[in-house]
Amino acid sequence: MEVPKPPKKLKKRKGMRRSRGMKRSWIKRVGSKTMPRINADSIWSKAIRERDKVCQMVGCNNVSEHSHHIFSRKIKSLRYNLLNGIGLCAECHDYAHGYPVQFREYLQWFLGVRYTILKELAR
């Protein structure tokens, strides 16, 4: 009687991790943490891109391809709030993640009172 061989391990794509509670859904790594992306995230993202058809950085006239959370999507009370989103082109979205301090200062100037309200809601 032969002993059966163990099944081959599935190869995972670099930077991706399979969550224990999710059967075949892959979750995107965000920094060092993992945040599951669900259908509501896609709906929120599409709503932001439809609202902000053009990139919201001053001087940029590119099409808004990306939706960016002003305050982290880890804050459950603001995760799907449309006020907590801004439409950016790919280049400006890279800038937002590459220079977070400068981008935060820009948002404070650009959004004004809206930024203050979101900051209070984030507490």
User: What DSSP assignment string belongs to 23-60?
Assistant: SS-EEEEETTEE----HHHHHHHHHHHHH--B--STT-
- Determine phi and psi for 108, rounding to 5 degrees: -60, -40
Over residues 53-77, the pLDDT tens digits come to 999 999 999 999 999 999 998 999 9
Distance, in Å, from the CA atom of 88 to the CA atom of 99, rounded to the nearest integer, reads 14
Distance, in Å, from the CA atom of 107 to the CA atom of 94, rounded to the nearest integer, reads 15
Over residues 103-117, the pLDDT tens digits come to 999 999 999 999 999
pLDDT at 24 over 80: no
Over residues 81-101, the pLDDT tens digits come to 999 999 999 999 999 999 999
Q: Would you kindly state where each structural domain of the chain is located, as residue ranges?
A: 38-122
pLDDT given for residue 69 in this prediction: 95
Q: What angle do CA 91, 97, 101 make, to 5 degrees?
A: 120
